[in-house]
Amino acid sequence: MEHIANIVTAGLDVMQIRKDFPILQQKVHGKPLVYLDNGATTQKPQVVIDAEARYYEVYNSNVHRGVHHLSQVATDAYEKARHIVAGYINAAHSHEIIFTKGTTDGINLVANTMSRRFLKAGDSVIISSMEHHSNIVPWQMACEESGATLKVIPINERGELLMDAFEAMLDDSVKIVAVTYVSNTMGTINPVQDIITLAHARNIPVLLDAAQAIQHISIDVQALQPDFLAFSGHKIYGPTGTGVLYGTTEWLQKLPPYQGGGDMIKTVTFAKTIYNELPYKFEAGTPNIAGSIAMGTAIEYLQKTGIDKIQHWEEQLLTYAMQELRQIDGIRFIGDAANRSGAISFLVHNIHPFDMGELLDQQGIAVRTGHHCTEPLMDLFKIPGTVRASLSFYNTMEEIDKLVAGVKRAASMLL
């Protein structure tokens, strides 16, 4: 009864929500699926699946390139999705929304174009110790190509940024700060407003990797004022291969095109090409039309559900999960920040994460094991990897109970 009361308090009918996700109805190894790998990708509601199918069934056509009916319908749906995204993050203009293949693609766009126009020897780029490889490697490449230096904000044992160290790094050499909003491994919510304020005081732009924030936290880019913000559609209940790069008009106009091809041009001659206006300047070639439309549908689904209600329920799930997992003998949490969301990384005694993950899978419980594309972070903690349970609003307290029981059972078998 206590769990039911929690669902009512959160304002969500979680059991009804679960019916919207076909994959959650299946069994794995004869057990009901307990999907706790939402940090890797979220499951898709039927309305999203239907939206993508409908494009191919009813109005499959290329966008922006035809006067015929199907092309106009496809273009309208594609641009409607852009407006939906802009509204969701409160962008000032829909042309500040660039459709990408995902967070990785968005960060690479900024890193590549920044290195070509704004980075040189003697300059520096700041990232943090908890970054996903997608917010490390592009900047390493940019620094290698330009001669700039990469600086890394340290963290404490709880997995929190050392803000004094960050502030000390800010000098005239810094040309951009690129940090994650929420750690994909530890769930740490970084003080991004403070980071932006400090950087902007020195006229330094900030890119936020919001891949692990966009589905958990209400984001208002006009209030927060990042210069760039990237996220993936598949992390927000949309299709894979979709994503968004938000950039302020000022910065998007400064950057050169990322790729050349169709639709990112106004005119082409052998002597010179005139590039298109925003956002098309950064959308070369035929985009993922169906996926982008379905991503818009996913965001509409979240808006209808209510991001504040989602955040409240997920906070309850996280609190309960931490409370119950702490009671397991020999458990060690990797990152235990005061302000956190979504992900829980842990080890139990000396059990290898892969062994734990395989035994949990036999019980129908899906978690992620390994370094989670954060090898430098694992090196800091001197571990090969972790077991990561990552939450969604369609998860239940009963599923947390199954996770805890599963970890205990696996530990009893492996110790």
Q: What digits encode the pLDDT tens for the residues 71-97?
A: 999 999 999 999 999 999 999 999 999
pLDDT confidence tier of residue 154, bands split at 50, 70 and 90: very high
Q: What is the pLDDT of residues 36-68, one digit of tens each?
A: 999 999 999 999 999 999 999 999 999 997 889
pLDDT confidence tier of residue 211, bands split at 50, 70 and 90: very high
As a whole number, mean pLDDT of residues 131-160 equals 98
Task: State whether residue 272 is helix, strand or coil.
Answer: coil
pLDDT confidence tier of residue 414, bands split at 50, 70 and 90: confident
Both structure tokens of 408 = 């205990």
Structural domains in the chain plus CATH codes? 14-39+306-414 (3.90.1150.10), 49-304 (3.40.640.10)
Q: Where are the beta strands (DSSP E) in 226-322?
A: 228-232, 243-247, 265-268, 273-275
- C-alpha 331/C-alpha 180 separation (Å) is 26
Task: Decide if pLDDT at 9 tops 50.
Answer: no
pLDDT above 70 as % of the chain:
98
pLDDT at 3: 56
Q: What is the pLDDT of residues 110-127, one digit of tens each?
A: 999 999 999 999 999 999
pLDDT confidence tier of residue 357, bands split at 50, 70 and 90: very high
Q: What distance lies between CA 398 and its chain's CA centroid?
A: 26
pLDDT at 5: 45
Task: Decide if pLDDT at 4 tops 70.
Answer: no
Beta bridge partners of 369: 387
Beta bridge partners of 268: 273
Match 């035929």 to its residue by tokens: 286
Task: Decide if pLDDT at 140 tops 90.
Answer: yes
Task: Decide if pLDDT at 176 tops 70.
Answer: yes
As a whole number, mean pLDDT of residues 152-164 equals 98
pLDDT at 335: 95
Task: Decide if pLDDT at 1 tops 50.
Answer: no
pLDDT at 10: 63
| Catalytic site positions | 373
Both structure tokens of 174 = 């810094």
- C-alpha 107/C-alpha 114 separation (Å) is 10
Q: What is the pLDDT of residues 273-322, one digit of tens each?
A: 999 999 999 999 999 999 999 999 999 999 999 999 999 999 999 999 99
Nearest Cα residue to 102 out of 214, 205, 182, 196: 214
Predicted TM-score (pTM) of this structure: 0.95
105-to-101, 145, 263, 267, 306 alpha-carbon distances in Å? 6, 18, 18, 26, 28
pLDDT at 137: 99
In 10 A of CB 2, how many CB atoms? 7
Both structure tokens of 368 = 């992620």
